[in-house]
Structure 1
Amino acid sequence: MSFTSLGLSPALLKALVNQQFTVPTPIQQAAIPAIIDKKDVLAIAKTGSGKTASYVLPLLNNLQKSFGVKNRHANVLVLVPTRELAEQVKDVFLTFSMQVPESIKTLAVYGGVSINPQMMALQGINVLVATPGRLLELVDANAVHLSSIETFVLDEADKMLNLGFKEEVNRIISLLPEKRQNILLSATLNNDLQNIQQILLQDPLVIEIKEEEASLDLINQLAYIVSDEKKGPFLRYLINHHQMKQVLVFASSVHQADAIVNKLLKNKINALAIHSKKSQGARTDILHDFKSGKLRVLVATDLMARGIDINFLPFVINYELPRSPKDYIHRIGRTGRADTAGDAISLVSQAELHHFEVIQKKMGKQVKMIDSAGLI
């Protein structure tokens, strides 16, 4: 199946070609026609399955059709749990709307930055991407009105509820028009989510995509046994030897991430760290540079990696192993996406060998181990 069969406009099909999207993922195949038909949708799928584009494309398609109807306020509200995801979703809207002849305006609002510029930017917005707390602050300040919302998207709903946003989400839902389209996206389906689903969705199309194993199969995993003191030089060897142009490195702490970057920079390898000590503006700029290919190496902590979503990231390196097998799978799952193979390399010290055996057992896959001695 191709995107041309899903009912998207010629402008959006051109945008897909420009972004090198050729074949829709399973969730896109199911969700795009349903959202174009303004049906409610419940989509359960893992990270990397193409969820964001599965609703961005049809919503832009529908906004094109209704562009002659003038509204003072936003038509589409996308609610997300984190500011990193808010920026990521906004970027996807902006990327695909560039080819659309009508001017469709998208704004992301979130806490941790000044509210005043966000208030000023709200005029004439078609798509509002927001975190719950900041959205309610804007509502309470009478800076935003939700009376014109035609489509409400609750993205990463399971994470939203896990982070304690249930009351805020319920209040936001109560402010929306009764007649609207609802789209609920989540990686899992739990009791809290089922309760919200019953309140929110009217006769929804339910899409459940199980593809964790398939995505792992696209990842070439390899591990090197490296002493702690030689991990820095060996990381630089790997980057240079394999001529890595875009690589995501995982570190165990903020301090370690900064230390890795300092060593890389001293050896003339373009690198930056992203972690909780960086300002929101700095994080946004760093992510943009990494996604666009201007930044060669991004060093991240597990907390910050949630906002890193790149379809064609070729390399992931675990400088140290994460604490849990689940985190390991999340880390390496940053590569091997959109039907494109990727490489995940782990640097494992003698002290980490037993823990790595546990990770492999939980994952159900054996990883080839190579002794790094003599390679550098």
Structure 2
Amino acid sequence: MKDPVSDTLFLPLIEELIDLPEQGQILFLRARLSDALMDLPREKFVCDQSFKPAHDILERAGFALNDGDGETYPLTLVLPPRQREEYRALLARAVLSTQAGGIVMAAVSNNEGAKTVENDLKALAGHVSSLSKNKCRVFWARLDDRRDADLIADWSQFDAPRTIENGRFASRPGLFAWDHLDAGSKLLVDNMPTNLKGKVADLGAGFGYLCDEVLTKNPAITHVDVIEAEKRALDMARQNLAAHGDRVSFHWADATKPLPDLYDAIITNPPFHITDRSDRHDVGKAFITSAAKALNSGGQLWLVANRHLPYEETLKVAFKSVNAIAENGYFKVFRAVGPKGKTKTYAELDDQ
């Protein structure tokens, strides 16, 4: 499995600049499977990954997954995310999770700010060593009394939940549009109907903005399944949607996979970035396919996407009717009705 950043992370071990610890396990924060990891003994690793697709890949490969909290380790590996407050909090967590004399090691792509993240680890630990390969950089620090305890304490709080939109929602750094209401989602909200009913799913629900709006404006909706692959976002959605009570269920799940039920309507603002800045058209297209399979014969999909994303053809392949309901210079809102290949159920025939 090709992952240049993750493969680069293991260079100091491969080149024997750092030894695998003889005693104790290795904590791997934001772990991802890679060819280099597959070559190492699985029993040595405790992997932490809040993104469900990456979590499931590691689990299928036989790696132990838990958050590692409450323990310290002789070696901690980190694949820092892009958002600055989030990755600084993760670096601080890595330092706090590592034994005195142990090593914290991280890797970042050069075009994602590797040198900046390296300097941040140096600020925490006092010194670093580094290597470059695959247009990436791996850097590490052996922890001693040069650690900056005050800075570690400050950075540990950087990704703590906080309120946004005058207290309407709780969010945290690193989530999609974490500190504001996304303009695409707002366009979808402004153009959705108020007569949706029955059971609904929100795919890639984030911290719960779309779900809150659709439940508030559609009293005939009986239930919404909130489906979100990033557990950090799902935790915020639970908090933000608590007032809706048992009208909402929460699923830590990959929406590109089969959905948990059959629905009368589905709403979504699909992600199109995963671990870097490159467009991932395949994710949004898979959301559309999953939605079509999980809607009843007259069900409807409401989707917003950046104008440049090539979703319209996928929608037309999957649905009998597709219309662009609204658009501006940046986004399009689509309404797709009647997934192809579905026949009406007896209950739907009785409603006619």
Name the TM-score, length of structure 1 as normaliser. Answer: 0.38
Greater strand share, structure number: 2
Greater helix share, structure number: 1
Name the TM-score, length of structure 2 as normaliser. Answer: 0.40
Mark the structure with the bigger radius of gyration: 2
